[in-house]
Structure 1
Amino acid sequence: MLRKVPLIVILGSTGTGKTKLSLELAERFGGEIISADSMQVYANLDIATAKATKEEQSRARHHLLDVATPNEPFTVVSFRNAALPIIENLLAQNKCPIVVGGTNYYIESLLWDMLVSPKDPNEMEDGIDNQFDISNTVNIAGKGEERTFGSDNVKDPLFLPQSEMSAMSSELLHNHLRKIDPQSANRIHPNNKRKIMRAIEVYQQTGETLTAKLQAQRQQPGGNRLGGPLRYPHTILFWLRCKQDVLNVRLDKRVDAMLEQGLLAEIRAFHNEHNGDKSQTDNSAAYTRGVLQTIGFKEFIPYLEQFNAANDQKIEEYLRLNAYKMPTEEHFKAQKPSSINVTAVQKHTQQQNIDERQSQQPPQQSTIDREIELELEAATHSDTTTTSSPLPAGLEVLNACLNELKRVTQRYSKKQIKWINNRFLASKDRQVPDLYELDTSDVNLWQAEVYERAVAVIESHRRGEVCEIQAMARRQHPGAGLNEETSNFCEICQRHFIGEYQWQLHLKSNKHKKRRESNKKKEKASGISVDTNKEDKKS
């Protein structure tokens, strides 16, 4: 007898093949795909956010694509509230829900119960979401009073209006948080203004400190410091992995392909519709919210603000004629005015040298004359190559934006790997479903190493049998057992560190040791005796 249909979750860095596997599993098991990507929920920017194509979407039903616009907020709570009914409905029909992400904190909001609902987060940490729904009135637990936000009649002397908090420095806010919630102040870095404000808002909106909420969460059955209990016990996690050097090449090619697919026209239309007046209002914060800060759009802001759509057409024409290959760095350098002047000077100098040599040659030395003619011809040809076909204006800026996108994409892929390691494998006290690693480095081995292994895991689970493919082993985090709610300040390096693990790593680092030795030498030379063993202050 088959067991209950599992919830399938596909994790992995950008470019590892999550879309491909989700389609294959949906077709094999009659499932439907739920996109867990914080940017693909927004309409448009299909190329920039690497959405499943229309052809791919026709192969299996997709949920939570194009369900929001940049003008409306769509948070992790919006996602969770939309995704959970879809999952429940599919499970009730004995259909297999396949969650594909992208955005790991979206996936966490489905797998585990979270205690606090965010208003507009960019990430979730410690099992608590970043910002919280604000109601007009809040009943402060234990104080028995109603308080209206934004009014002048505020009895609690620790209350700070949102506008006042935004204007305060991180240092002042951190000192204020220490009065409300000392434990959270120890846990949050003094420079992290966003998290400090979040902790203050928790108290102001609920009457409870963030620390109290975390403690309540940990006391739940199955709860721990990262979240509440597991929501769906029948869950299978697939982690698609790829060797980093192979993935980097794959990601670079993916960016180049986006340009040929029409990325420039897409981001231009999006910019004109949603952010065309940004430069006039100088509202730089507009680029830090929602889809406007997605990887694949914000990297092109320097180009979009300097050049217009007419310039885009010239660049598109140039790229089509050159098979969408960008010029080399040497070509870009040759197009700069300073480089062109140098080339002209070099040609003039070459001509002078040739004329001088010609005047010194006897008439009978025809071989040398021919060499001189060839040298002049080569110089002329070289100059024509670099100056006869000028590059379109803005092409070098666009190329720099593309290179930045490649760099950011590679960096984000590493961040995704770190997140999965820390949140799914290095938390032995957390209820985590079995996590299966699938290597996608060699696309020629996809059928055997990825698809067939995933199918074997799912079928074994449904039959209630032990699968021959082993789930990944859980590991102990190297900082397990250390106090992570302490604040340390290194007087030598003038830096704050949160938690004993990070503090111990810093004290053992070469950078810290070199700076400490350098300080000792300076103190010895100046004749000043300073206790260099006093390296920190603990809060």
Structure 2
Amino acid sequence: MIVPIITGATGTGKTALAIELALRHNAEIISADAYQVYRGMDIGTAKPSKEELAVVRHHLIDVLDPDQTYSAGDFFEHAEKIAADIISRGKLPIIAGGTGLYAETLIKGIFNAPERDDNFRTALEEDGGKHGFALLHERLKSIDPEFAASIPPSDKARIIRGLEINRLCKMNVREAQKAFHVNPKHKYSVFLITDERERMYARINERVVRMYEAGWTGEVEDLLLKGYNENMQSFKAIGYRETAALVKGEADFESVVSAVQQKTRNFAKRQVTWFGHMDGLTELRAGDEENASRLSAFIRDYWA
């Protein structure tokens, strides 16, 4: 059995295609979106509508509060278990979402390293702040020259992670990646929805405007009133920090809309670049009425 993954840049029609397929084949959808896991963050993350959620069962949507954290490792573990459960019930799991890292972890597996050492990380942060991260990069080079050579002295997060892995695992990063690698339990096939850049950008600009018309500002205001704030991981979702500034009167509406449109376009460009580095993808053109039929043929071949 091969599980289909429907992915692509933001606004290319992944949700609609996944739902059409799910209705045709009695399937359930597993969201591969980094921020749709958060409750109360509906408009800005472009979650499926209540009507869409009612007609097809979705997983990994609205499972966390905005003050909780979520990682690619969490997604890999949860998605694999959910897919196995769906299959055990005689149904088809469909993965749908634009977080390229999530799709790649399902295909390649994941590095399941030991838990973080927060005290050690804090000490490194303080050390780097005082003496510069170039010095920490030199320290990493002395114990793991191969990994250090692969990252610049300005990459604070990966320098700290490299030093932390050495401390926790007593081995370099490459050795640890082999020792702690977890292979996927299922086989996957990726279907990438593509579009012409100018048309994609125009659709993004229109989509952002519709989000504010749908009440995005009020959604963010509710989150802030509940005690959630811009320092939380959930607020890294594009537009939430900008909209929080709007709610607080720190920015005007026109500049916020323009900034969110630009950031979303930049994100879409990065998504296209990410998918361009992945092998074995089947490309589908956005808006092509034959996409559902092509995927249905794939499903019949592998799930008959």
TM-score past 0.5 threshold: yes
Structure 1 residues 15 and 170: CA distance shift in structure 2, 3 A: same
Structure 1 residues 241 and 40: CA distance shift in structure 2, 3 A: same
- 1:267-321 Cα distance to aligned partner (Å, 9 max, x none): 1111232346xxxxxxxxx53x4111111202224323326xxxxxxxxxxxxxx
Alignment match, 1:305: 248
Residue 194 (str. 1) matches residue 157 (str. 2)? yes
- Structure 1 contact 203–210 (Cα < 8 Å) conserved: yes
C-alpha separation in 1, matches of 2:155 and 2:261: 27
- Structure 1 contact 10–239 (Cα < 8 Å) conserved: yes
- 1:207-262 Cα distance to aligned partner (Å, 9 max, x none): 11113224x36xx9xxxxxx7755423x3221111111111111111111111111
Residue 84 (str. 1) matches residue 80 (str. 2)? yes
C-alpha separation in 2, matches of 1:263 and 1:52: 15
Matches within 5 A, 1:417-436: 417-422=272-277, 424-425=278-279, 434-436=280-282
The correspondence for 2:174, drawn from 211, 215, 222, is 211
Matches within 5 A, 1:98-113: 98-113=94-109
- Structure 1 contact 12–241 (Cα < 8 Å) conserved: yes
State the shift of 1:204 in Å: 1.0
- Structure 2 contact 29–95 (Cα < 8 Å) conserved: yes
Alignment match, 1:180: 143
State the shift of 1:38 in Å: 1.1
- Structure 2 contact 191–282 (Cα < 8 Å) conserved: yes
C-alpha separation in 2, matches of 1:439 and 1:162: 44
Q: SS of 1:201's equivalent? A: helix
- Structure 1 contact 42–68 (Cα < 8 Å) conserved: yes
Alignment match, 1:270: 223
> Over the residues paired in the alignment, what is the CA RMSD in angstroms?
2.2
- Structure 1 contact 39–49 (Cα < 8 Å) conserved: yes
Alignment match, 2:235: 292
Alignment match, 1:251: 204
Residue 447 (str. 1) matches residue 289 (str. 2)? yes
- Structure 1 contact 11–240 (Cα < 8 Å) conserved: yes
Q: SS of 1:14's equivalent? A: coil
Residue 71 (str. 1) matches residue 34 (str. 2)? no
- 1:481-505 Cα distance to aligned partner (Å, 9 max, x none): xxxxxxxxxxxxxxxxxxxxxxxxx
C-alpha separation in 2, matches of 1:228 and 1:61: 28
Residue 458 (str. 1) matches residue 299 (str. 2)? yes
- 1:152-181 Cα distance to aligned partner (Å, 9 max, x none): xxxxxxxxx333200112111101111221
State the shift of 1:62 in Å: 0.5
Q: SS of 2:253's equivalent? A: helix
Q: SS of 1:97's equivalent? A: strand
State the shift of 1:421 in Å: 1.2
Corresponding letter in the other structure for 2:201? N
C-alpha separation in 2, matches of 1:229 and 1:86: 16
- Structure 1 contact 188–195 (Cα < 8 Å) conserved: yes
Q: SS of 1:69's equivalent? A: coil
C-alpha separation in 1, matches of 2:209 and 2:23: 30
- 1:372-409 Cα distance to aligned partner (Å, 9 max, x none): xxxxxxxxxxxxxxxxxxxxxx6xx1110111111111
Alignment match, 2:44: 48
Structure 1 residues 454 and 246: CA distance shift in structure 2, 3 A: same
- Aligned residues with identical type, % of pairs: 28
- Structure 1 contact 42–70 (Cα < 8 Å) conserved: yes
Q: What TM-score results when the alignment is normalised by the length of structure 1?
A: 0.53
The correspondence for 1:401, drawn from 217, 240, 256, is 256
C-alpha separation in 2, matches of 1:406 and 1:134: 35
Q: What TM-score results when the alignment is normalised by the length of structure 2?
A: 0.91
Flag structure 1 segments of 5+ consecutive residues without an equivalent.
Answer: 118-131, 136-148, 151-160, 221-226, 277-285, 308-393, 426-433, 464-539
Alignment match, 1:138: none
The one of the two structures with greater contact order (alpha-carbon pairs below 8 A, sep at least 6) is 2
Alignment match, 1:96: 92
Residues matched between the structures, number: 300
- Structure 2 contact 4–94 (Cα < 8 Å) conserved: yes
Alignment match, 2:116: 134
- Structure 1 contact 49–296 (Cα < 8 Å) conserved: no
- Structure 2 contact 147–162 (Cα < 8 Å) conserved: yes
Alignment match, 1:164: 123
Corresponding letter in the other structure for 2:116? I
- Structure 1 contact 112–231 (Cα < 8 Å) conserved: no
State the shift of 1:92 in Å: 1.9
Flag structure 2 segments of 5+ consecutive residues without an equivalent.
Answer: none
Larger radius of gyration: 1
Residue 115 (str. 1) matches residue 115 (str. 2)? no
